[in-house]
Amino acid sequence: MSTLEWTADDARAVELARVLAADAVERAGNGHPGTAISLASVLHLLYHKVLRFDPDDPGWIGRDRFILSAGHSSIAQYIQLYLSGSGLELTDLQQFRQFGSRTPGHPEFGQTPGVECTTGPLGMGVANGVGFAMAARRARSLYDPAAVERSIFDRRIYVVAGDGCLQEGMVAEACSLAGTQELGNLIVLYDDNRITIEGDARIAFTENVDQRFEAYGWQVQQVDFTNGGTTYEEKLDDLFAALTAAQADTSRPSLIHLSTVIGWPLPTKAGHHSVHGAKLGADEVAGLKTVLGFDPAVDFPVETDLVERLRATVRQRVAPLRAQWETDFAAWQIAAPDRYALLERVQAQGLPDLTTVLPQFTAEAGEVATRTASGAVLTALAETLPELWGGSADLGSSNNTTMVGQPSFLPANRATADWPADGDGRVIHFGVREQAMSAILNAIALDGLTRAFGGTFLVFSDYMRPAVRVAALSRIPSIFVWTHDSVAVGEDGPTHQPIEQIASLRLIPGLDVIRPADANEVVACWTKVLSRQQGPVGMILSRQNLPVFDRSPDSGLAAADQAARGAYTLLEASTGQPVIVLIATGSEVALALGARTELETAGYPTRVVSAPCLEWLAEQEPDYRDQLLPKNVVRVSIEAGVTYGWAGIIPGGQHVGINHFGASGPTNRLLQEYGLTVQQVVQAAQVGLAERGK
């Protein structure tokens, strides 16, 4: 970038942005005007002088990414999208926070053009930024490894965060990892206005942020609009210079520590915590307009000529950047036709034929933990799906999330004897950072040029829940791998034995919770997950070995590909018309098969239904579901977790599960102690028969 050119139109646009922010919150009756007003010049600088983006093509591959981690200040971003001609109009600002509008209270991906990810839960946007930065580096190595200097897949990630963001643990995790990864394409602007909802931030936040980020391995710069708290001066030349220096340092992520006064230049409320999260009141809004030279009686001032000039200037700035990128893209397309074909397939969400590379498991091979089968699938897919990558929160060997033989995604100088790295490999080492991992995975999925997965123990999905929820809210096709899925974890004890997690995860609308019964169901479920990108999935896998079911033609067991329906008849009743239906997930399907043998011997025709994903089952036709789980028979659910939720699947049924915490002890002893046995399933069926008078 060259020297900052700041025109009269720029200055007027900033003042207009402040007024529009005040008016939008005032009309809505609620919102967060303070930061939007004081950061109006900062966001204008980014959108009109710095960001590489195309207002007419929000999905352009070559664009930079802007993330408002301080998502409560959403109106600040909406105003810039309006002024830059990026899809919003003044009427959208007038509908701020209204039902069905394109300007919701917090930025939502898919709701507003130009919003890269859903933010609002503080700190998540910073972690998303780390993910976008990682995705950019991986995309370059995947699609343009021959690039020496700049690549068409390079982009910078700009994040605006506040004091609240930096207090969140997720930010500590993500920024620590960003330093280790040397993400030189990540620039975070920290708005240090020293205000949170409860007042002055010093009541809870007194650390030296600069030293903290320097310890993470970041470049840290300071820009002080407050002149040490003496006067106020928006030093945009200094900020522009800091951005230029951050862009030049390609070996470290950058933090620009920007000291501001919240709500400046409000006439009486600037610097007070009351402007953080409430409307200003008519008198204060009128006073602001008077100070800035606007008619205090006019709401949402219309400055058509100014807006048209601003939009034209943005297009004039971006046009040569876009033209050069298109030229470079065309040259790359000719030079790398195979990689271009890969890009087209990935963008179209297509898959090659996987049948020849996916592993198949036989009953003769013995028992296989579903986590082991999952690891075999990922390794087998490595060459066929080069866009697929991932790792775990320091549990790669336990989660089996390591693609065997693939190098690590690490700067080459971080390589170890155990983990070779070529700088841009495919095995991600998230460290013990489950919260950050989940938000990073979301950003990689949103980036759209690769697909990533990340694993940890199921019990620690609780650490990930906020980002998993946002993935479901935004319909992000993130892949979460959760292993060690029940009290069968054994000796590690109740702290590591999930009880309520499966039921709790099923409560999240839009999350597919998948618990395969054997190794071949794992293969079938992975196949569906990779071919379906409608939202996030949780692949829940066993630590303990499970039998590989004999699905040969003479066995009577259905093919594993039926798992794609969510639930299916694994083994039909001997008469074809069951008196009892046992429906189970995961490791408990084997219990159902054992119980069926005893019940059939006792003269009760029994169907076994394997239900790896209740969300997929809910998508099937009602007739299929009614035939699978008929209402006029005894029905028993079997799952090693709380039984909550199963009454909605089989009303009036019996439920075998565990509704209390576990204990430390050998797996078999725990399963026996807590009634996760064939005998308990048979007994539950007998109770159901007795209730029906049979």
Angle between helices 588-601 and 678-691 (to 10 degrees): 60
Angle between helices 304-335 and 8-28 (to 10 degrees): 100
C-alpha triplet 351, 63, 178: angle, nearest 5°: 85
pLDDT given for residue 1 in this prediction: 52
Pairing of strands 654-656, 451-457: unpaired
CA 119: distance to chain centroid? 11
Residues linked to residue 161 through DSSP beta bridges, in sequence order: 190
pTM of the model: 0.98
Residues linked to residue 453 through DSSP beta bridges, in sequence order: 390, 479
Are the CB atoms for 584 and 517 separated by under 8 Å? yes
| Domains of the chain by start residue, with CATH | 8-319 (3.40.50.970), 363-546 (3.40.50.970), 564-691 (3.40.50.920)
Which is nearest to 373 in space by CA: 389, 360, 385, 364? 360
Are the CB atoms for 21 and 77 separated by under 8 Å? no
Q: Which residue has the tokens 């579903």?
A: 370
Q: Is the peptide bond before 265 cis (omega within 30 degrees of 0)?
A: yes
pLDDT given for residue 421 in this prediction: 85
CA 206: distance to chain centroid? 30
Angle between helices 434-447 and 124-143 (to 10 degrees): 50
* SS3 state of residue 569: strand
Cα–Cα distances (Å) from 254 to 232, 338, 571, in that order, read 24, 35, 58
- Averages of pLDDT over runs of 10 residues in the chain (694 residues) are 90 98 98 98 98 98 98 98 98 98 98 97 98 98 94 98 98 98 98 94 96 98 97 98 98 98 97 96 98 98 97 98 98 98 97 96 94 98 97 97 96 93 89 98 98 98 98 98 98 98 98 98 98 96 98 95 98 96 98 98 98 98 98 97 97 98 98 98 97 80
Question: What are φ and ψ of residue 151, in 5° steps?
Answer: -115, 155
Q: Using CA atoms, how far apart are residues 537 and 453, in angstroms rounded to an integer?
A: 10
Containing H/E element for 583? strand 580-584
Are the CB atoms for 122 and 150 separated by under 8 Å? no
Q: Which two tokens stand for residue 106?
A: 């917090």
Q: Tell me whether residue 212 is exposed, middle or buried, using C-beta atoms within 10 angstroms of its C-beta: 0 to 12, 13 to 18, 19 or more.
A: middle
Known catalytic residues? 434
Question: What are φ and ψ of residue 132, in 5° steps?
Answer: -60, -40
Task: Give the number of other Cβ atoms within 10 Å of residue 231's Cβ.
Answer: 8
| 21-50 burial: b if 16+ Cβ within 10 Å, else e | bbbbbbbbeebbbbbbbbbbbbbbbbbbbb
Containing H/E element for 244? helix 236-248
Q: Using CA atoms, how far apart are residues 100 and 571, in angstroms rounded to an integer?
A: 48
